[in-house]
Amino acid sequence: MGDQFVQVLEGSVRLTILAAGEKRVLELHAGIIAIVPRGQWYKAHAPGGVALLTVTPEPTDDSAAAIPPESEEFAA
């Protein structure tokens, strides 16, 4: 796995990244690019809808879980 590239094409999104017990929240809108570092768990929240372009090197570790298995703090 490697870093993940995320570009917002339309709309806006709140990207919450959890790593080493710390939570970072990024508010992104159209035209913004973010890099999610390798091995960091993230969640996207876009109640108004968003179009994203993401590039993830293989192999990837996608999950449908609401929070990382080891962390309750991500749910907030």
What residue spans define the domains of the chain?
1-46
58 class by beta-carbon count within 10 Å (0-12 exposed, 13-18 middle, 19+ buried): exposed
Model pLDDT for residues 6-63, shown as the tens digit of each residue = 999 999 999 998 877 788 999 999 999 999 988 888 889 999 999 999 998 876 666 6
- Tell me the CA end-to-end span of the chain in Å, nearest whole number: 27
Query: Per the confidence metrics, is the pTM higher than 0.85?
Result: no
